[in-house]
Each structure stands twice: as C-alpha cells, then as structure tokens.
Amino acid sequence: MKLASFTAGGVRRAGAVDEAERTVAVLPAEVGAVDDIVRGGEAPLAVARAAAAGADDVRPLSGVRLESPLHRFNRDILCTGWNYRDHFEESQGKREGQDPVTWPEHPTFFTKGPNTVIGPFDDIAHDPGLSAKWDYEAEIALVIGRDGRSIPEEKALDHVFGYLVANDVSQRDLQRAHGGQWLKGKSIDATMPLGPWLTTADEIDDLTGLRVRCEVNGRLLQNASSAQMAFSFARIIAELSRGMTLRAGDVVLTGTPSGIGNAREPQIFLGDGDLVVTRVGGLGELRNRVRRTRLT
C-alpha cells in the first residue's frame, strides 16, 4: 500500500495511491492521518486497506497536492552517515580536517531537526547569507512501525512500517563549522523533501535492488543501488536501537551514495531556481525547486 497525505476541504487527509492508474483513493476521515495509521499497528492499516478497496472518492493524482506523508515526529529525524563506501572514499581529504582515519566498523549516526521536512513538491529553502555550500543527498528513508529496544538484527525488519524517498540537503560549511558535529549543517528549516508517499514494507520484494538517483537541472549526479550500502537496513536498526528505544513513527535516513556536490571537481552546490529530482526505484520521485528564502 502507498499512503499519501494531502489537504482536502481544509483538513489533512490520508489517501491510498494507485501508481499505475495515477489515482489516489481518499480514505475516510475516521481512519486518521498517515501518522495515525503508522502508530496504530496492524488494525488501522487493515482498516485503511479495506477503505481504499471500497473507496467512493477516487481522484486523479494530478488533482491533489501531495504533502510530506508524515507530519508528527517523535523526535529529530535519525540519520546514517557514510553508508556507501564510494561516498566515504570520494570525500576523503575534502572534509576540511574532519576526515576519519579508517572506514568505521559501525554505522555513523546523527540527527536533523523535524522542521527540515517539506513535501515532495515543495520548494527547498535557500539563504545564501546563511551558507554558501548547499549540497544534495538522495537517500532511502524508513519508518519504524513498532516500538523496540535492542532489536536483534534478524528481527529488525519486522519493526519497519515502510519506506520513502528523502533528500538530506546539507550546508557543508555549517557542517564543518561546529566542532565536527553535523546537527547544525543538517537542520536548516524547510530543506529536506520527504515522500512522495509511504510505501508499506510488504510491497518491497528486494531491499538490495532499490536504485537511488538524484538529478539537478536534468543532470544525473547520483546513481547507485541499495546493494552498495555498507550497513543494511536491518543492521542500522539493530545498532541504532541498542539500548535506545525506537518508536512507531520514527524516521530513519539510511545514507547517500557518491556524487555529492562537495566532492566533485569542480564542486557543485545548489542555488536559487535549481530543480532537484530525487528518485528511488519502487518508492517514487521528489521534484523540488530551490528558492531563495530569508532564514536569518
């Protein structure tokens, strides 16, 4: 099932997307928002499936403005760094003195503020007075659907509700400027597209065959497979949850592949008017225009 969020009649609603037919079935208001379905467990998801199958209100997908599938966050967005070896290698010597000595044996984790989240077609805020180095990072995001702490790796995927597309737009100069901690350079408001819908875990047959791509102004800059991830989705969940409770609704980004702007020669950074298209095979596409926005 593909669960989307949009506003109808001034109220945020959940919908079930039929990608082949390019339609969305509007779910009854009593089903709640996508956030409610994620947090509710198997019962509300079953109700949503039944409602979608018998929906009277089915609209063209082009006739609704999709928003971020999720709007209520338990905490910061949880993120994984350096999860594609080629990305780790491409940035060696380009991290302005913050290079690790060796490849990390465990996933590298950081967080970004929930106010970063925007919808799949919203503008990415850009304030050149705040940063001169706005970079793109196409990623697969997963959403936790069941609470758990110290989850064994072999049971980790049982805790996943579904998957979606994200772009971890980062400000590289801010990322380097605060003692090696990435929070500031990852948490600027209205900079992380998320969506276009939330695909439930049962729809993904092969988690190692997801193609991750990012284009800027029609130029393909990132193109990789999830098979290239150093740490699997299950490993990320297991390590992140060790001694730390993950809760239904938590969003976890799983890393970006090579091709980022900061590592290129010459470097490529985002500017006002740029069109960023982020795709993950089987999960959909984000299309976001970079727009000058006063943030300071």
Distance CA 74, CA 87 (A): 29
Distance CA 33, CA 26 (A): 11
Class at the top of the CATH hierarchy for domain 77-292: alpha beta
Average pLDDT of every residue of the chain = 95
Reply yes or no on whether the pLDDT at 96 is more than 80: no
Torsion sign over Cα 288, 290, 291, 294: positive
Per-domain boundaries in the chain: 2-63, 77-292
Residue 176 CA to its chain's centroid (Å):
22
Closest CA to 251 of 39, 89, 49: 39
Q: What are the pLDDT digits (tens) for 248-278? A: 999 999 999 999 999 999 999 999 999 999 9
Token code pair at residue 239? 């390590």
Bridge partners of 216?
219, 276
Query: What's the pLDDT at 75?
Result: 98
Q: What are the pLDDT digits (tens) for 192-251? A: 999 999 999 999 999 999 999 999 999 999 999 999 999 999 999 999 999 999 999 999
Query: What's the pLDDT at 181?
Result: 84
Q: What are the pLDDT digits (tens) for 61-83? A: 999 999 999 999 999 999 999 99
Phi and psi, residue 240, nearest 5°: -65, -35
Reply yes or no on whether the pLDDT at 118 is more than 80: yes
